[in-house]
Structure 1
Amino acid sequence: MAGPLPAIDRELSSESPLLAPLRLFWLHRWILLAFTVLGGVIGLGYCLIESPSYRASASLLIEPKDADVVKIDKVYDPSSVVREYHRTQYELLQSRELIDSVVTKLQLAKHPLYVEKYKPGPEGPTRQRWRDRMLQHVQDWVPFLYDGLNLAALRSRGETLTEALLDDLRIDPVPNSYMVKVVFDSEDAALAATVANAIVDQYLSRERAARTGLGYEAADLLTQRVEESRKALQDSEKALQAFLEKEDLINVGGVRSLVEDEITERTRRLREAQAQREQLANVYGRIKAAGENVEALQDIPTIQQDPLVQSTKGAYLAAKEDLDQIAPRYGDKHPTRQAAKARYDAAARAYFTQLRIASQGIRNNYELATKTAGDLQSQVYQSTGRIQNLDRKDYQLKVLQRDVDTNRELYETFLKRFKETQATADLELGNARIIDRAVPPLKAHWPKPLLICAGAVLLGLILGAALVLVREALDNTVGNAEQLEELAGVPVLCSLPHVTGREQSLEKLSRLEVDDPKSIYAEGVRTLRTSILLNDREGQRMRKLMICSSLPAEGKTTISSNLAAVLAERERVLLVDADLRRPRIGALFGISPLRPGLAQLLAGETTLEEAVTSSDIAGIDLLPAGGARDNPQVMLASDRFFALIDELAKRYDRVVFDTAPCQLVSDALLFAKHMDGVILVARSGSTARKVLASTARRLRNAEAPLIGAVLNDLDLRRGAGYEGSYHYRYGYYG
């Protein structure tokens, strides 16, 4: 049998991890090119149909507030206050209320850019009505998508001119400074600058208005809150004191510890009682089942361990032994036998009485343990109830204490803030001012054709590469000779290339070695012949060869016929169609389906000379299937067929058997062990890896002499680097 590939062959057939994806992408280069071109076309189309957008920005300086001289921590660490202050101002700059005032001040609803898009109607703005119609269509046609994406929430949100302006507005803080840029995008360059300036003006105006009278309002509000928090503190303290007096609570924790110790002790005793009850449960059940049956009580080991039972049992056994020895020598009325019988009866009564006493003692112990466990369980429940009651009181006490602490903290906080507000009311100053006003931009900010097209092309290339990689990852078929060798567990005898064009018909493929002997396919078949010849041993020639596959359409029939053709160049060969379910050999060689063949030969309806016929290829005789039969397995598993195999091997140098697929039926497995060599055929890109491994395992279980495998229909562009390049180079010389 041929061994595995030599180390040098494995090294040459392996491929660099960096070259493998490159070769894969080159193989699917048209997919990558199509996605790349499509991305570029989409990007270019977007640039052509997208309306230009202009961007204007106004610069605003928002200095931090003066440090709070009352709070010492704010004087030494003002950074957190500054960050919070600036974030607040950024949110105010893009608040809905401010944008509403800008829309009203500039009368944007009458601007030509917005008048058509947001023209009021019976159901809202025009843009909203269009969106609602589209969402309604989605709900009618694909309701699962409507519900899955929660489009109802989007539909319920009205889209107004204010929201449109918020979408076009952006607040950009300048890093490492107190500067902030108010940026606005619009299809009208002049309008972009006008809106940006109006937002800044409205913000400053609102800041000045909000600052006026703020100190007095804060002082009045804090005065009211101080009084309310003082009253709440007093009420919570009174409630706490009333609860302590009502429940007569001094130390809940100490009482709870005592009850916990009591529960622990009772739980320990409960476990001991339960353990004793469980130990006696089985014996008690057997005693209860035995009842008054003394014979059954003797079979209980626990009773037999009782000392009194053991002593009476010894006397009983001794009396029984004496009686058994005397009984054969004396009659029933002999004084010696009667005395022995009296001693035996007395010992038996004592023994059986002690058995009953011991069983009753075990019964009493079990019932006592059961009662003790029940009492202790009830006591544990009562103690647990006391713990829960104490926990409820402790919880209420903590709730009341927490209310007191919270109210005291609130009171102290409001009092402190009240004094701070009075001391620092005059220090609150506005620190925002305009640095640069927005001017109309001279060129559009968006779209950027070069950037968009480059990004679209790159995205198309990435999507194409992802598609290629996903397809490759999802491919679970045998792709190359290394995979086939690993899954089948035998060496690959040859790899046959994919045949295209005029040679694809089954009739032409079956005799391709004869019609085109210089083709790569024909050279592969001759390589297979060489592998078979190398497996021959002196005195043990491989005369009986079986070609099998996992599933149909994997090429075993064409390989069988071409292998028979190359073997016939130097030997006398018989090609046998052993597929009695779907025979193909006869049709490929133009033999009438009415001609008797293997099926009639096994049925005894014809002779071997009448079933075998010659072919138009020199050196090849054919034994067709002779038509499909209802019981092919019975025929192929018969002694007649096994004898026929040996007879054919004597008449011919080589006998090639074309068989049925091994995964669909077990016909080939029935006689595989009678072969000299079995060759497993797998189709590249078609045979699943799990199916191939299962077929190889089934052949080994059937004791088939599996000598190797053939990889058929290999795409030379996808083969491993060494193997593929070899076939390409050979093609030039062929």
Structure 2
Amino acid sequence: MGNSGQKPLQQGNDVIELTVILAILSARRWLILLITASIFTVVTLMVAQLPSMYRASTTLMVKGVLASNPLQSLIPGAGNGTDELDTQIKLLTSTQFAKDVVAQLPADLQLGLPDDQRRDDAQALLGSLTVQAVPKTTLLQITFTHHNPYISSEVVNLVANSFMAYQSNLMQQHSHQASDWITQRVDDVKGKLALSENKLQQFRQLHNIIDISSDVELVKQEIAQLFLERRELTRQLQELTILLGKTSLLQQDFEQLSNIPEVSSVPVIATLQQQLSMQQAEFAQLKLSYLPKHPRYIAAAKKIEVSKQQLKSEVNKLTHNYTVRQADLRRMLLQVEGKVASATASLESLVNVGQDHKKLEAEIQANLHLLGTLSDKMKETELMKDINKTSSIIVVDPATVPMSPIGPKRLLLSVAALMIGFIGAVFLVLCLHFFADVTSKYRHIAARFGYKLIGVVPQIRVKGIDKALPVIRQSGKQYTLYQEYIRSIRTNILLDKHLNTQKILALTSISPNEGKSSICLQLAKSFSELERVIVIDADLRFPALAEALGENPHRPGLTNLLAKTHTFEQCVFYCKELNADVLSSGIRPMNPLLFLSMPRFDAILKVLAKKYDRVIIECPPILSVSDAMVVAKCVGKLELVVDVKKTPLVDFAAKMELLEQSGVNIGGIILNRVKNDTSNYYATSATRAKQPSALRQMLHDNLKRA
């Protein structure tokens, strides 16, 4: 439901915005017409003075000679396809070529306009010359624009002929330069080649090189053989070391020694072990028959001891032989290591020599290859000298004298000037309006709906109090200026023939928090300097006056007076700061609209209007609730407070239309929070504005006596 209500409002805002813009333009229509007519007239006169322009064109075909040119890397400008056409276009539009063409023109021929400062120079030619490549072809289209049709055709034909001669001379010059450069390079390469061959010969003699690859292979084979020999010696040494370790550990254990193959394979040791075994077997038989002191027992034991000594002696001999063999193997291994190191150093030396030898050979081969390439290029350059004698540019379609002008488009320029003038005038008028004074904009909109602007209130910075409460008293220049604006509103009300007779002033706003409470209190304070004033807080939904004045917000007030629970004296209190009586809202009711609709409320207002000179009522926002409309029926007119910071021009116009449709009678509009005018007299003379003038003091005294 809420969304359906917002959509028409948005559409209404759009219509109002367009209506406001149209109203602004309608008010300034004569200015818009004057600016548009002025721009249109000036542009039309300027266009009428422009001479007619004629365009002549010719077509050139670029042959494919350069595309197949083998010297395209040596001759500048040589290329193929699109690159070749781009090169030709660059040459045609170069400054040097333009100077050559201008030098061939007749003395009485003028390229530029009579007032053109570039007349008869290269820049004038390039400014009117256009060169384009025809897509997917080798054709070039040259056009020249001039106010004289004969000059345009003559110049474009001269450009084509001059370009053919210019391109031929340029290519021949480049061919000669390329030939000279190649000849010089051939001589340089030959000198480098002879020097490289001499270095190679000296290098071979110095290192005695016949076939370095074979020498390297022989050294590699020798190193491989030495590695095999070293591996074999290392293996034998390891086996012998292990065998010596076993024999040293098992030297007394002949049975374990017999299990070692290298020991048991020795014939003498094998015989002694066999003999010892037989003696030990016989001795075992004798032990069974004889005692240890028997001669045969003793003799058998001595034989066994002798055999063991012999076997031990043989084992020691074998161990000694192995030790000697171990020393020999170590010596041989050291010799092989020395040979390996020597062979490796020899191989490294041969490899370094071989690399240097290859570098010298590669240098010779590079010079030979470069010499062959340059020789071929020299032959091709000689061939190109003959080819360049014939032009590679052909005129396909020579230029003719153009019969009809191509411009200027006077009608199109005039129409464009008319449109631009109108748009510029509209933009200027809108800028003047939207950057004008804000007050005048709101005044115009209010006047359109028949409402009167009775005053403005500047924006003030609140200090030291709750910013949500109304402004009662401040200090400084801003507050002094603020009070002067309030007094100006009071003066406008007193001088207005309709508002001056209206003793009851009811202040409302479009939406909440627009500053109506502050203006209500300040107006009461200002009027109290001249009249007896009472302030009534009729905003029964969100009352703020009692709390702002330091009173209990729940004290008896308007609702209590309407409900007859309290007397008028109990509901009213005197505010020394305002120098006025205040009737607060009282107890907040459940249905504020019901209280304000009572006939007693209208009767109370009529009584107060007789008792006081001025009755100022603060009402709720008029578009938020309908309470203010009920108050309007009792007082006749409402004074509307509008916050320019919260209500833009478009929204203000839309809400004014809503108020007009609702039939609410608006007596005047007060603009709040308008930007301060620093040039104001009271803003620069605040101290002077603090004291009332003599005339004001005298008027105040007379009213008091009355």
Which TM class, normalised by the smaller chain length?
A: 0.3 to 0.5
Structure 1 length normalisation: TM-score?
Answer: 0.36
**Structure of larger gyration radius:** 2
Structure 2 length normalisation: TM-score?
Answer: 0.37
